[in-house]
Structure 1
């Protein structure tokens, strides 16, 4: 018996086309979790800078991040990834404060 890629595509397509009524019959007895924070220390810096509230948090703790000469090189990184390369400018203490402020954004 051989496996056909087209058959796999057909199965995937059929799964996507499952009627909403069938999907709605899932077990809803599980507790509803609180929504995840809008921004975290793992959010790319450029995404933080695109939101005025998150940008204000970064400016409060780090200054004008988007004015840094290397901004274009690190903007796709998260604060958690960038911190070890910041030569101490982004300390663990600073990350804790930033995380608290970012979590408060709704």
Structure 2
């Protein structure tokens, strides 16, 4: 079931209050990601001085993709923007949400 127009409109008007903690999800194509994608993601997070927790990972049924879930805490909006920009540069990146 999808969102109605009024539901999606009200969602768009909501602001994120910082600092914010949530679970970051990163999905990579295993055929084109690096040998150590978890380390690559951690380096990006460390480079932005983000607090983050233990990584959990899950491979897709056919092992074509791997997803990582990482609890993160962001202090301000610019930090979030930079994080997503840098994650987009990862080899094999499909989604970061």
Name the TM-score class by shorter chain. 0.3 to 0.5
Larger Cα-atom Rg: 1
Higher helix share: 1
TM-score by length of 2: 0.35
Higher strand share: 2
